Amino acid sequence: MTRRLLPLALALLASSAGADLLKDPQWQAWLDAGKSADLARAAQARSKAQPDDDQAAVALALAAVDDNDAGRLEAAVPALQACVDKRPQAACSYALGRVYGQQAMTASVFKMPGLASKTKEQFVRAVELDPGLYEARVGLTQFYLMAPGFAGGSVAKAKELATEVQARQPEQARLLRALLAMNDKDWTTAERELGAVKPADDRTVARELRGNWSRLGFELMEQKNLPKARGIFEALQRDYPTHAAGPYGLGRVLLEQGQPDDAVKALERARTLDGADRLPIDHRLGQALIAKGDKAGARAALERFVQNKRANPRNLDDARKLLAGLA
């Protein structure tokens, strides 16, 4: 079950909360940019002044999820539960589902099923409270696709979630169908659906579109279809110039294509952009600098990475091995 829930957690981490969740534009901007420390400080200050402020509770929870901080995740539950019980709101149920889903990732085999059940329960409730809240709908879709059947997974229910919004939110329906296609490893259909999405001024759709293109690019890279993956990341870099996803993915592809100098340039650019803290940029930069022959630069990048509290354990293991080889 752990392996099945891992893709769910990664997908949800890649999907930030939308404008319907955080009403304060600055808070939303911090969340979108991965600046969880700034978000947490502001939300904590408001929570102290207004203990029943539900937006502060949601923001604190999402910042804790972003940082994968076990203590803060647990501390976020009471305020969210109070909101869910006394002032039912889709945002609170969604945030509580995110917290439970994150906790399930590190839970024991005895606690994990209960946390998975709670995750599903809160996502279902969020969709019921606000059928138009895309974050809740995509969270529930991912749960149905990734969780095993005995834990509540259901491809049929995931498809229903996409069908339900076709008439009123066609762009969101296309994004959900792309998720379904990627779950089936039908990359051609996924690309067609993503190519048809027109986000206009919908920031949530634009953000999700960026995330799904990025996922497709990495899938193609895994299949060694490097020219097509490169085209996707170059398009992301063009269409989302302030976000790290494009240059990060492009750097990965360039390194695979044996162009370490260009890879380093792309990854260095990615380090300066929004969302950089959520990506293992310094790990990949260390690899590119090693390929370039710059051991001192590689050591500095890898040492930064191993100190990153958000680092994925798999990336950490490889980074430590690379550092050992540079000793």
DSSP string, 101-160: HHHHHH--TTTHHHHHHHHHHHHHHHHHH-TT-HHHHHHHHHHHHHS-GGGT--HHHHHH
- The pLDDT confidence band at residue 68, using thresholds 50, 70 and 90, is confident
> Tell me: the pLDDT tens digits for 271-280?
999 989 889 9
Torsion of CA 192, 193, 199, 203, to 10 degrees: -120
Residue 111, CA distances (Å) to 9, 84, 101, 114, 146 in order: 16, 22, 12, 6, 18
In 3D, which of 179, 176, 117 has the Cα closest to residue 152? 117
| pLDDT the model gives residue 19 | 44
Q: Considering the chain, what is the average pLDDT of its residues? A: 91
Quick one: tokens of 83?
A: 């909101």
> What single-letter amino acid sits at 307?
Q
Nearest-CA neighbor of 263 among 296, 290, 299, 295?
Answer: 290
Q: Return d(Cα 254, Cα 192) in angstroms, integer.
A: 25
Stretch 290-317: mean pLDDT: 92
Q: State residue 233's pLDDT score.
A: 98
- Read off the pLDDT of each residue in 72-84 and give the average, rounded to a whole number: 96
**Contact at 8 Å (CB) between 94 and 125?**
no
Q: Are 297 and 279 in contact (CB under 8 A)?
A: no
Q: Could you give the C-alpha distances from 310 to 33, 115, 316, in angstroms and in order? A: 14, 22, 10
Q: Supply the pLDDT for residue 167.
A: 93
Among 93, 26, 16, residue whose Cα is nearest residue 54: 93
Percentage of residues in the chain having pLDDT higher than 70: 94
DSSP state of 280: -
Instruction: Determine contact, residues 151/1, Cβ cutoff 8 Å.
Output: yes
Is 70 exceeded by the pLDDT of residue 7?
no
Q: What is the pLDDT of residue 20?
A: 57
Q: What is the pLDDT of residues 199-249, one digit of tens each?
A: 988 888 998 999 999 999 999 999 999 999 999 999 999 999 999 999 999
pTM: 0.86
Q: In this model, does residue 324 exceed pLDDT 60?
A: yes
The closest of 104, 25, 107, 96 to 60, measured between CA atoms, is 96
Q: Which of 264, 311, 318 is nearest to 67 (CA)?
A: 311
pLDDT at residue 90 is higher than 80:
yes
Q: Which residues contact 148 (CB under 8 A, 6 or more apart)?
A: 1, 4
Cα of first residue to Cα of last residue in the chain, in angstroms, is 38
Model pLDDT, residue 313? 84
Place 93 in a pLDDT band, splitting at 50, 70 and 90.
Answer: very high
Flag whether pLDDT at 152 surpasses 90.
Answer: no
